């Protein structure tokens, strides 16, 4: 019955293992979707709510950032999108009585799954200094508490304002405005932990830190390379786009250490073939690469392209790029043996990939965390750009770069100014528009914020959404750092781990979800988001809010700003709360590409932001040309008797939100503490399938980190590579293990040993 969590307590983590699957979606996905939705929302609300997701007059899915097709299906969502919606529109409620019954110490002992299943937060709660449990507090008092602690700081830079990618454009713009008027650029966001490496590499090489393809480009491509990404679980509607591209004659190469069902075959539940037939085979060539071997692969492919007569688009290279000579010199040095060692691939596989590349006239490369969370991720993504520039595959219909964002508005938040290293041009525009001098000194990203909290340099942590503590690396260090804070504040819709790891004082501020009606003084409001391909569109909630005491994200920021900044702030916070169109008018004057914002976003489906490389083959880099780069090739070295671990999601998971304990496509049921190991590696390490081990990571400074009690699952991973779920294994990722340049936690190549439990 909707309204009650479907389990007692504690949650048993007892994984069972069956054969992995070889096709994604289909009838089982429909069944799982409806069952989970009914458990959370009941039948009627399920129908009402799911039929509004991703519709032009509906609300944007709070899941990933995959774009909407021009033509929307009646059911325009995937299984995991439905789970995200159901968890937000759940009928379960977390009441003051719940907090009385569950002191913080009790909450700290619960699993993320259990916390998330308790339901929606309904009113602000406060954990006083020395208290054991959260108690209800008024909004006014809550803002007073934040103001007290911010006022007590020695510098605005002792405060950290974190943003998760669910935050709308309007709330994000106001949040950065408040933080900067308060006096700091400490605006870390979840992008620091996911696609920061993409932004760094693309900004340097093509001048824009975003993907250059639209959905129709994917449909028109004749070769799509999907590298370091598992769309079947993390961007499921991408499979529809791949299916359409295949129908148009495209070929697909997937590059991944794991054979993922969603890259093998797609049973599209929107079609009879998908519901009753075998569906559509997707991947034509599966390159089962070693973790961190992607730069070496693309470097060798680039050498082979250069060595192939007529394969390089000389005209494009001459007209639009620079650095070609230095790059070709480096590429010609790529060595077959070293590449085969770095990638674990066979020569014939790479030669087949080359044949497919040379046969292609319109190539798109898609990627996700499998490329962005390594020490050498930025050089790896630069090498992907080299690969596309060589044959002029940027700024051509059906071709380009496609980093696929994992959070519904993570790209929009960055566009709105949520960035610890803002461009001077953005700060200049902000100063001109609002009449105050924003701070110019760059702020803290996620990893630096954790260090600052650990070292007592940051004392107030404010989070707009998210689950910072669980999403971050080096869990024990991060949790200890958070507990050193004077005050931790979380604007949230549901309970999570971060609410149980508090500063001396803590607040949980419940906010409206995407699915809910947002009524303000100026009437019903809508917000906007930007998807992974730079499309900006409206999102209108329709459900009654989960409680009468919820505030919208914009209202929370505006009321907090007025309380903290006082009457001396000339910014019209109250006006912004009443009517979000006034926020968009300011965005239109500050953020390039948003001119006439309100009129353009009123159009059904919204509008595409400009992208100079895509739209005009103009590259707004330092030189006005696209940059070839020639970084040395890197790949992780593996000591004897060790494995390279990647942290990843199960199919019943979205970022750190756990929807269930199954990972259906990989054949895992009823548990999450599993480690996937190749049978031959397991034999070499004498660990049989079903054995229980501790995972121990070894860091270059000699420190070790332990994650106890994982069931070994013999699994067809790439040799030497293992896989296990986060957040359970984030404890193994050292805080200092980050990507060069982007400082993104390197959670995809952690050196571990297995120790019998
Ligand atoms: S593909 Fe992403 S955005 Fe689309 S419905 Fe699924 S989770 Fe939501």
What counts of helices (H) and strands (E) characterise the chain? 31, 33
Which ligand 1 atom lies nearest to the CA of residue 235? Answer: 1
Give which of 727, 720, 721 is closest to 745, Cα–Cα.
727
Q: What is the pLDDT of residue 3?
A: 47
Which ligand 1 atom lies nearest to the CA of residue 236? Answer: 1
Residue 316 in contact with ligand 1 by CB distance below 6 A: no
Q: What is the pLDDT of residue 12?
A: 75
Note the pLDDT tens digit of each residue in 177-212. Answer: 999 999 999 999 999 999 999 999 999 999 999 999
Note the pLDDT tens digit of each residue in 362-375. Answer: 999 999 999 999 99
Q: How far is CA 751 from CA 355, 665, 683, in A?
A: 34, 26, 18
Residue 80 in contact with ligand 1 by CB distance below 6 A: yes
pLDDT at 348 over 50: yes
pLDDT at 6 over 60: no
Mean pLDDT of 126-140: 98
Residue with tokens 């400082």: 743
- Cα of 264 from ligand 1 centre, angstroms: 19
Note the pLDDT tens digit of each residue in 485-529. Answer: 999 999 999 999 999 999 999 999 999 999 999 999 999 999 999
Question: Which residue's CA lies nearest to atom 7 of ligand 1?
Answer: 81
| DSSP symbols for 175-199 | HHHHHHHHT-----BGGGGTTHHHH
Separation between Cα atoms, residue 430 and residue 427, nearest integer Å: 5
- Could you give all domains of the chain from N- to C-terminal order, each with its CATH number? 13-18+642-756 (2.40.40.20), 122-188+419-525+535-548+565-610 (3.40.50.740), 196-407+622-627 (3.40.228.10)
Cα 532–Cα 492–Cα 530 angle in degrees, nearest 5: 15
Q: What is the pLDDT of residue 5?
A: 52
Mean pLDDT of 151-158: 98
Burial string for 22-31 (b: 16+ CB within 10 Å, else e) reads: ebbbbebbbe
- Cα of 59 from ligand 1 centre, angstroms: 12
Residue 208 in contact with ligand 1 by CB distance below 6 A: no
Question: Which residue's CA lies nearest to atom 2 of ligand 1?
Answer: 64
The mean pLDDT value of the chain amounts to: 97
- The residue to mutate among 75, 76, 77, 654, having the most atoms of ligand 1 within 8 angstroms of its beta carbon, is 77
231 confidence band (pLDDT: 50, 70, 90): very high
Contacts of 550 by beta carbon, 8 Å cutoff, 6+ apart: 122, 510, 511, 512, 516
pLDDT at 9 over 60: no
Q: What is the pLDDT of residue 23?
A: 98
- Cα of 685 from ligand 1 centre, angstroms: 39
Mean pLDDT of 69-86: 96
- The residue to mutate among 236, 530, 539, having the most atoms of ligand 1 within 8 angstroms of its beta carbon, is 236
Residue 231 in contact with ligand 1 by CB distance below 6 A: no
Sequence-ordered alpha helix ranges (H) in 294-417: 294-306, 314-320, 324-332, 336-343, 347-358, 369-372, 377-390, 410-415
- 319 forms beta bridges with none
pLDDT at 137 over 80: yes
Residue 262 in contact with ligand 1 by CB distance below 6 A: no
pTM of structure: 0.97
Residue 399 in contact with ligand 1 by CB distance below 6 A: no
Residue 422 in contact with ligand 1 by CB distance below 6 A: no
Mean pLDDT of 54-71: 96
474 confidence band (pLDDT: 50, 70, 90): very high
Which ligand 1 atom lies nearest to the CA of residue 76? Answer: 5
Note the pLDDT tens digit of each residue in 204-226. Answer: 999 999 999 999 999 999 999 99
Note the pLDDT tens digit of each residue in 19-59. Answer: 999 999 999 999 999 999 999 999 999 999 999 999 999 99
Note the pLDDT tens digit of each residue in 638-669. Answer: 999 999 999 999 999 999 999 999 999 999 99
Q: What is the pLDDT of residue 2?
A: 46
pLDDT at 451 over 60: yes
Mean pLDDT of 398-422: 98
Sign, Cα dihedral of 134, 139, 145, 149? positive
Q: For the chain, what percent of residues have pLDDT higher than 90? A: 98
Cα 741–Cα 704–Cα 104 angle in degrees, nearest 5: 90
- Cα of 2 from ligand 1 centre, angstroms: 23
- The residue to mutate among 25, 50, 72, 235, having the most atoms of ligand 1 within 8 angstroms of its beta carbon, is 235
Residue 266 in contact with ligand 1 by CB distance below 6 A: no
Residue 486 in contact with ligand 1 by CB distance below 6 A: no
- Cα of 214 from ligand 1 centre, angstroms: 16
10 confidence band (pLDDT: 50, 70, 90): low
């Amino acid at each position: 019955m909707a309204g009650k969590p479907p389990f007692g307590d504690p949650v048993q983590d007892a994984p069972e293992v069956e054969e992995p699957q070889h096709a994604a979606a289909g009838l089982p996905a429909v069944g799982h979707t409806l069952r989970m939705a009914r458990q959370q929302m009941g039948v009627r609300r399920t129908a009402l709510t799911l039929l509004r997701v991703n519709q032009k007059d509906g609300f944007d899915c709070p899941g990933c950032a995959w774009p909407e097709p021009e033509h929307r299906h009646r059911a325009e969502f995937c299984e995991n999108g439905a789970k995200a919606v159901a968890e937000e529109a759940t009928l379960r409620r977390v009441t003051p009585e719940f907090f009385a019954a569950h002191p913080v110490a009790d909450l700290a002992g619960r699993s993320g799954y259990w916390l998330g299943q308790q339901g929606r937060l309904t009113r602000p709660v406060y954990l006083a200094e020395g208290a054991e449990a959260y108690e209800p507090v008024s909004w006014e008092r809550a803002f007073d508490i934040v103001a007290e602690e911010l006022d007590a700081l020695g510098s605005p830079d002792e405060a950290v304002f974190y943003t998760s990618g669910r935050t709308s454009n309007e709330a994000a713009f106001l949040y950065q405005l408040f933080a900067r008027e308060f006096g700091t650029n400490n605006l870390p966001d979840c992008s620091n932990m996911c696609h920061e490496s993409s932004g760094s590499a693309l900004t340097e090489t093509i001048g824009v830190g975003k993907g250059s393809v639209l959905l129709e480009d994917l449909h028109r491509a004749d070769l799509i390379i999907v590298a370091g990404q598992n769309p079947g679980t993390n961007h499921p509607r991408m499979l529809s786009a791949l299916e359409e591209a295949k129908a148009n004659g495209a070929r697909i190469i997937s590059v991944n250490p794991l054979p993922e069902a969603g890259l093998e075959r797609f049973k599209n539940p929107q079609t009879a073939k998908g519901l009753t037939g075998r569906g559509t085979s997707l991947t034509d060539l599966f390159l089962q690469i070693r973790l961190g071997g992607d730069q070496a692969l693309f470097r060798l492919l680039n050498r082979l392209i250069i060595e192939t007569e007529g394969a390089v688009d000389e005209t494009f290279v001459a007209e639009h790029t620079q650095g070609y000579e230095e790059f070709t010199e480096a590429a010609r040095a790529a060595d077959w043996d070293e590449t085969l060692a770095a990638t674990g691939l066979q020569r014939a596989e790479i030669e087949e990939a080359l044949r497919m590349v040379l046969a292609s006239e319109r190539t798109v490369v898609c990627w996700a965390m499998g490329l962005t969370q390594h020490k050498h991720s930025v050089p790896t993504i630069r090498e992907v750009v080299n690969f596309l520039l060589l044959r002029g595959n940027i700024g051509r219909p059906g071709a380009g770069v496609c980093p696929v964002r994992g959070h519904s508005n993570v790209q929009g938040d960055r566009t709105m100014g949520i960035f610890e290293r803002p461009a001077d041009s953005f700060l200049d525009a902000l100063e001109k528009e609002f009449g105050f001098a924003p701070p110019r000194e760059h702020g803290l990203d996620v990893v630096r914020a954790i260090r600052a909290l650990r070292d007592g340099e940051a004392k107030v942590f404010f989070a707009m959404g998210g689950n910072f503590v669980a999403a971050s690396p080096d869990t024990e260090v991060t949790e200890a750092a958070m507990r050193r804070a004077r005050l931790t504040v979380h604007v949230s819709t549901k309970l999570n781990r971060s609410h149980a790891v508090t500063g001396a004082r803590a607040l949980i501020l419940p906010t409206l979800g995407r699915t809910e009606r947002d009524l303000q003084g100026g009437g019903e409001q809508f917000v906007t988001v930007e998807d992974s391909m730079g499309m900006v569109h409206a999102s209108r909630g329709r459900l009654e809010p989960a409680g009468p005491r919820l505030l919208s994200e914009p209202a929370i920021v505006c009321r907090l700003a007025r309380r903290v900044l006082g009457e001396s702030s000339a910014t019209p916070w109250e006006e912004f709360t009443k009517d979000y169109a006034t926020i968009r008018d300011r965005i239109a004057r500050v953020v390039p590409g948003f001119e006439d914002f309100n009129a353009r976003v009123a159009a059904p489906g919204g509008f595409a932001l400009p992208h100079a490389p895509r739209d005009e083959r103009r590259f707004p880099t330092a030189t006005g040309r696209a940059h070839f780069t020639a970084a040395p090739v890197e790949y992780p070295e593996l000591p004897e008797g060790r494995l390279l671990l990647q942290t990843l999601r199960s199919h019943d998971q979205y970022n750190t939100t756990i929807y269930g304990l199954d990972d259906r496509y990989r054949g895992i049921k009823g548990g999450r503490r599993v480690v996937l190991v190749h049978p031959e590696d397991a034999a070499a390490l004498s660990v049989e399938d079903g054995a229980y081990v501790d995972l121990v990571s070894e860091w270059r400074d000699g420190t070790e980190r332990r994650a106890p009690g994982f069931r070994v699952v013999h699994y067809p991973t790439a040799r030497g590579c293992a896989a296990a779920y986060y957040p359970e294994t984030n404890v193994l990722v050292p805080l200092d293990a980050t990507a060069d340049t982007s400082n993104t936690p390197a959670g995809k190549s952690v050196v571990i040993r297995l120790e019998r439990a």
